[in-house]
Amino acid sequence: PFDGETDLIPRSAQPGVGTIYALLVVGVDMRKDVNAAHHYTGEYMTNLLVVRRGQQFIIDVSFSRPVTPQDDFQLEFLIGADPAANKESLVVVNFGNHSGAAWAGQIVEARDTVVSLGVTASSKAIVGLYRMYVAVAMGNGMQRTEKDPNTNFYLLFNPWSPDDDVFYPDDAGRSEYVLNSTGLIYMGTPDQVTERGWVYGQFEEGILDACIYIMDACRMSIHNRGDVVKMVRTASALINSQDDNGVLIGNWSDDFSMGTPPTTWTGSASILQKYHTSGAPVSFAQCWVYAGVLNTFLRCLGIPSRVVTNFNSAHDNTGNLKTELIFKPDGTPDRHKTQDSIWNYHCWNEAFMKRVDLPPKYSGWQAVDATPQETKDGYFRCGPAPVIAIRDGELCHPFDCGFVFAEVNSDLIHMKSDKYGNMTPFKVDTTYVGKLIYTKSLSGWGPEDITGTYKHPEGSPADQQTMALAELYGCSRDRSNFPASKLSIQISAQAVRKPSPLRVSVTFYNQSEAMKLVKVHMEISPTYYTGVISGIKKGFPGHFRYVCVSVAGSIKVFELLPQEYISYLGSNSSLEVTVTGQTDDVEVSEVKTIALKLPPLNITLSGQPQVNRDMYVMVSFTNTMGFPLTGAKLAMEGAGLTIPPMGQISRKVGFRPTKPGLQTLLVVLDCDNLPDVNTTTGRSKSNFKISLKAK
């Protein structure tokens, strides 16, 4: 009967009843403002009603006359192109004597010819854009209202409802993980953590439609859109375009000429709007962009979510817990044979949900990753993986727990090859990978250390039990035992904001009873944040030298001037320092990644901080790098600039706030010849928070 959604079903006349007495629908009021306040959806910039499942919303229907107990009418809700009751995409809600439907209906109030109807969608209902009709019994048939786009409405997941699988137990968490439209994404290295502001913009105009379009464009089954586990798993594949024409194209090179550099994006809204408008994947993304856009998608649909950053994140190409660094017979790094990599940081998401497919223990935060790394079931997707299962090594549970476990728990193994190609391990570091895991805190604009949710303290009995269990599930480790070495190396360095030398200090510790003559090789290489070498700096200490290490130890300090390394740095680069040392009986090695910093942007606000009043922001930047920065542009306005040494740029931009409360202004500066080493380099950035008053 819903083929083509006919406005009228044939019926026979009711004997003895004249047309003048027939009950007709005169109008429908979706009560948008009242419902939005109760459903926490008032910030969505749309003219249509937005409500959450498992919670009553009110619809006012005006009839041609007062309703009597003998009148029979119903509301019909349809979603998708081929709605059917057995697929839960056609729902009929009855009032009065009829009951038993999956969605509950109630006559809340009758005022003359206006009836207020309360509707409660099932807490398992399909999420998306519904069409609604009012149908009145007429003889042997039903007469329904004409199709009216104004009565369409969005139904979302409901973290406020205990019956919904995305229920979050406290207001603070719901405020942050569902309603907060801005956030921080952490980057850098464990020793030099930096941050990048990100505007999720889940309430911006067109974003809700864009999220639904993503599911439609990738042909996600309508029936699966009410299942949060399937929704999140599918979303991790839809955000990347690797195999399903998804939202974002990844690019980890230096060439972004065919699109937007990942460092230029300041938020998700423009990406999603562009994808929705063009229907084509958007260029370009790296891990934090994938995570930011997926976070927007999840929060927009009502799923509590957050972006997390794993520092020293292992990417093992052999599917085990062994991340191998290979050295040549002379002690120099063998970049060609080293296939595994350790990313300075890697960003993914966590989504909060009840895992109805698993025992209750595994509900809560689930790791989900949209960055295309490995295929799972034929698609580039990852998760949802229960974080508690990762912590406890219970890797048999879906989905992809083993992959995430390796990212935070792999052992770093230093291997030396002989002239025949045979490789022998000489050092195993069990503490390097998964050094630190951060997310934005609930209480403010700082980090929350959630490392303990992914792994037990290194070396503790619980950690040993976890690693042993993981091995039972197929994650092999290196069991080499090495006697404690009496020679060790420690590398330290401090990043600087101004053009002064970068000092790299190498300390040799000698615990033996005699002086040691150590053959030392140090190599400093520009490195992408993914651990891939972008080129070796020749001419700087990349040669062998001998160091006499006394019993007490010895310190050697090396210096790099900015002009010696800046020109070698590409997009998203940092410096990797690799030191190897050999004596007659001992081999040692150490690796350290140094993230560089740039001067900050300065922001000054003027004007009255009030909704719909003009305000101005003055953005300024002083180049203290000692060489020209070319092709510079402010992401907030995209103006192309060239900044001379010690030169200053400034731009005054007007804007008009539309919402009260604490808002965040994000400004980004991009330059062609300066890398995105961390959140303040290559792209100097600044966050500025504004407390706005209502009218």
* Burial of residue 424 (number of CB atoms within 10 Å: 0-12, 13-18, 19+): exposed
Specify the 3-state DSSP secondary structure of 615.
strand
CA-based nearest residue to 39, from 134, 119, 149, 97: 119
CA-based nearest residue to 218, from 229, 207, 208, 231: 231
The pLDDT, as a whole number, for residue 15 is: 46
> What global pTM score does this model have?
0.90
Q: What is the CATH number of domain 19-156?
A: 2.60.40.10
Whether 287 is catalytic is yes
Selected catalytic residue, list 369, 392, 400, 676: 369
Order of all β-strands in the sheet with 104-111: 25-29, 56-63, 114-120, 104-111
The pair of three-digit structure tokens given for residue 399, joined into one six-digit string: 């989905």
Same CATH fold, 487-594 and 19-156?
yes
* Burial of residue 646 (number of CB atoms within 10 Å: 0-12, 13-18, 19+): exposed
Half-sphere exposure of 611 (CA within 13 A, CB side): 8
pLDDT tens per residue, range 278-332: 999 999 999 999 999 999 999 999 999 999 999 999 986 566 899 999 999 988 8
The pLDDT, as a whole number, for residue 459 is: 92
The pLDDT, as a whole number, for residue 64 is: 96
* Domain 487-594 -> CATH class: mainly beta
Inter-residue contact 67 to 22 (CB < 8 Å): no
Please give the torsion angle defined by the CA atoms of residues 360, 362, 365 and 368, in that order, rounded to the nearest 10 degrees.
-130
End-to-end CA distance of the chain: 50
Inter-residue contact 655 to 617 (CB < 8 Å): yes
Selected catalytic residue, list 39, 276, 346, 456: 346
pLDDT tens per residue, range 253-266: 888 999 999 988 99
User: Phi and psi of 361, rounded to 5°?
Assistant: -55, -30
For the domain made up of 602-692, give the CATH fold.
Immunoglobulin-like (2.60.40)
User: Phi and psi of 21, rounded to 5°?
Assistant: -95, -5
Whether 521 is catalytic is no
The pair of three-digit structure tokens given for residue 441, joined into one six-digit string: 């805190």
The pair of three-digit structure tokens given for residue 562, joined into one six-digit string: 């900015």
The pLDDT, as a whole number, for residue 682 is: 36
CA-based nearest residue to 428, from 233, 588, 592, 604: 588
Inter-residue contact 681 to 600 (CB < 8 Å): no
Spatial distance between the Cα atoms of 318 and 581, rounded to a whole number of angstroms? 28
Instruction: Please give the CATH architecture assigned to the domain spanning 171-472.
Output: Alpha-Beta Complex (3.90)
Selected catalytic residue, list 39, 165, 211, 287: 287
User: Phi and psi of 507, rounded to 5°?
Assistant: -105, 130
The pLDDT, as a whole number, for residue 643 is: 46
Q: Tell me the torsion sign for CA atoms 116, 121, 127, 130.
A: negative
CA-based nearest residue to 616, from 668, 657, 649: 657
Query: What residue segments make up the domains of the chain, in order of their start?
Result: 19-156, 171-472, 487-594, 602-692
Residue 347 bridge partners (DSSP): 309
The pLDDT, as a whole number, for residue 17 is: 46
Whether 369 is catalytic is yes
pLDDT tens per residue, range 384-396: 999 999 999 999 9
| Ranges of the chain whose pLDDT falls below 50 | 1-4, 6-20, 538-541, 637-643, 676-684
The pair of three-digit structure tokens given for residue 329, joined into one six-digit string: 């017979």
User: Phi and psi of 36, rounded to 5°?
Assistant: -60, -40
